[in-house]
Chains A and B, each alone.
Chain A
Amino acid sequence: MTALAQLPTSSGEPAAAPIVRRGRYKLLPYLLLLPGAAWLLVFFALPLLQLAAASLYDPSGSLSTGYAMTWAFGNYPDALQAYWPHFVRSFAYSAIALVLALLMGYPLAYAIAQKAGRWKNLLLVAVVAPMFTSFLVRTLAWKTILSDNGWLVGLLRDVHLLGPDGRLLATPVAVVLGLTYNFLPFLVLPLYASLERLDYRLLEAANDLYASPLRAFQKVTLPLSMPGLIAGTLLFFIPATGDYINAELLGTPNQYMIGNVIDSAFLVRLDYPQGAALSFLLMAAILAIVFVYLRKAGTEEVL
């Protein structure tokens, strides 16, 4: 998972200029790139085109009789009309989860980067440790933690934060908690990478110049951690919005996100045009949000 932490920096050009060679080496870079690039073109780019085509198939066809290409652009408004609540829910859940993750992840990344001293590596391992076990198994563990007979629900009922019949499992709270938990490390690692490079003397200088801790944070720490913050929020938000495992395992159909609908369109209802249209709408919505966000944040070199 360390690769994710390197994302914000390593996609830039390498520090040393690549050597341009002549003669028999001229073809070498292309030969090195060919197998990987071909794989990505055939199994990543080409499928996207096929998905775009499938989203315009005649919706009255079926998998067994075959689909006719009728450029049925109507699939998009139809899909949106039928499932807009799921779209809204997906973005709302992942936005709330993102806010929670920022509230938890920023202090965590800051503490590891600036305060942990010799415990730094140990704490970093603790951050990625959840990923050492299976995503599904650890999500199911939340089912035990949040269960109606569990200590957490018991405690919350005792202090009257939950009514006597109040539940956590099968509620939006459970789904949002699961999303926050599962994608928090993706937020913390890039944030840590930027905060680690923060020169503590800058904060001391701010302090010497009579800045309050809050103002020093606003004027020094926050701006300097921006690249990590942007990379981290994107790495959190993109998979969280497309996730449907948490909604399926910790929620009920009332908490289903757009992923659950797409999953059933392709694998249960076998309605490929609709599933493809929904997938494309999801990707377009995420890309639009990412684009606007990067524009606002003003650091396009992150990508």
Chain B
Amino acid sequence: MRISRWVADRWVMGVALLVLFYLSLPILVVAGLSFNRPSSRLSYDFNEFTLDNWKQPCATSDMCDAVVRSMEIGLIATVVSTILGTLMAFALVRHGFRGRSGINGLIFLPMATPELVMGTSLLALFVAAGVPQGFWTIVIAHVMFCVSFVVVTVKARLSGMDRRLEEAAMDLYASEWQTFRRITLPLVLPGIVAAALLAFSLSFDDFIITNFNAGTTVTFPMYVWGAAQRGIPPQVNVIGTAMFVIALLLVGASSLRGRRARRAALAAPAVGAGTATSRS
């Protein structure tokens, strides 16, 4: 019994590590290829080590233009969808209103609809309405599919919040605005930041919906798609690796902050106990 349990434990972990290897293999390849001098335009094999791609990431200037455009679209879509989604999350968690299930459905459906259907239907709408496709139609599309993810993320943070903290502020004669500004907002902020980061990454990486609504505007994923037919410049792998490293640093920084905050909370148990007892 003991031995079989031991084997079962190790067996599961072994499979898990193999699967993680499968998941990380392409990233290692992308990082490796960013140091590659390809033998020909259409070759995907590793040929020769070079630092040139990292020294001149913008050697193919239309690729860098596409990266900049993706960042612009990502930033605008993130700001708009974060505002819209956060307002909706507040309404859903903090207020009673009629038509809640309809609103929930409207928020849930875009996450369950295939991207292909959202992309083609927006295209059909823009064409029927005579709206020329380009930068702003991409922004509109990105805001549309990011909003739901923002709502879900902020809602999770809001509904896990201790309402008594706000009640305490009100008891201590804080105005509603002061309570919101000094208590509610700081507490929800991590959720809003997480939602914004999620929205930006969804927008920056979106291909399918963008492809149907871009007109002649080229985002980074659109550039890669087009280049896959003509031959991928190795700098694409530099951008791919840089994106990965930046995202990893962000995650690392936030987990370090979280750990420091937890340690600080442990170091000052008296304060925590004080606030808890003063309520009762």
Does A14 lie within 8 Å of B108, measured CB to CB? no
Give the residue among B104, B147, B195 with the most A Cβ atoms within 10 A: B147
Chain B count of residues within 8 A CB distance of the other chain = 100
- Nearest CB on B from A101, distance (A): 10
Q: Counting CB contacts under 8 A, is B111 at the interface? A: yes
Does A115 lie within 8 Å of B124, measured CB to CB? no
- Residues on A with C-beta less than 8 A from B115 are 239, 242
Give the residue among A14, A19, A249, A262 with the most B Cβ atoms within 10 A: A14
Does B247 lie within 8 Å of A132, measured CB to CB? yes
Give the residue among A1, A2, A28, A43 with the most B Cβ atoms within 10 A: A43
For B220, the closest partner residue in chain A by CB is A134
Chain A binder among B54-62, B203-211, B264-272 = B203-211
Q: Counting CB contacts under 8 A, is A224 at the interface? A: no
- CB under 8 Å from chain B, chain A span 10-51: 10-11, 14-21, 25, 28-30, 32-33, 35-37, 39-41, 43-48, 50-51
- Nearest CB on A from B77, distance (A): 11
CA distance A239 to B95 in the complex (A): 33
Does B121 lie within 8 Å of A140, measured CB to CB? no
Q: Counting CB contacts under 8 A, is A282 at the interface? A: yes
- Residues on B with C-beta less than 8 A from A248 are 228
Does B12 lie within 8 Å of A14, measured CB to CB? no
CA distance A50 to B83 in the complex (A): 27
The 0/1 profile, CB within 8 Å of A marked 1, for residues 1-30 of chain B is 100110011001101100110111111011
Does B94 lie within 8 Å of A181, measured CB to CB? no
- Residues on B with C-beta less than 8 A from A292 are none
Q: Counting CB contacts under 8 A, is A91 at the interface? A: no
Does A266 lie within 8 Å of B16, measured CB to CB? no
Q: Which of A46, A275, A279 contacts B125 (CB 8 A)?
A: A46
Does B27 lie within 8 Å of A147, measured CB to CB? no
Does A1 lie within 8 Å of B45, measured CB to CB? no
- Nearest CB on A from B149, distance (A): 5
- Residues on B with C-beta less than 8 A from A20 are 95-96
Does A33 lie within 8 Å of B87, measured CB to CB? yes
Q: Counting CB contacts under 8 A, is A171 at the interface? A: no
B: residues with CB less than 8 A from A are 1, 4-5, 8-9, 12-13, 15-16, 19-20, 22-27, 29-30, 33, 44-46, 83-85, 87-88, 90-97, 103-104, 106-118, 120-125, 127-128, 140-141, 143-144, 147-149, 151-153, 155-156, 158-159, 163, 194-195, 198, 201, 205, 207-208, 211-212, 220-221, 224-225, 228, 232, 236-237, 239-241, 243-244, 247-248, 251, 255
The contact sample of 5 A-B pairs, CB cut-off 8 A, is A28-B91, A32-B91, A131-B201, A213-B4, A249-B228
A: residues with CB less than 8 A from B are 1-3, 6-7, 10-11, 14-21, 25, 28-30, 32-33, 35-37, 39-41, 43-48, 50-51, 53-54, 63, 104-105, 107-108, 110-112, 115, 121, 123, 125-127, 129-145, 147, 149-150, 181, 184-185, 207, 213, 234, 238-239, 241-245, 248-249, 259, 262-263, 266-267, 272, 275-276, 279-280, 282-283, 286, 290, 303
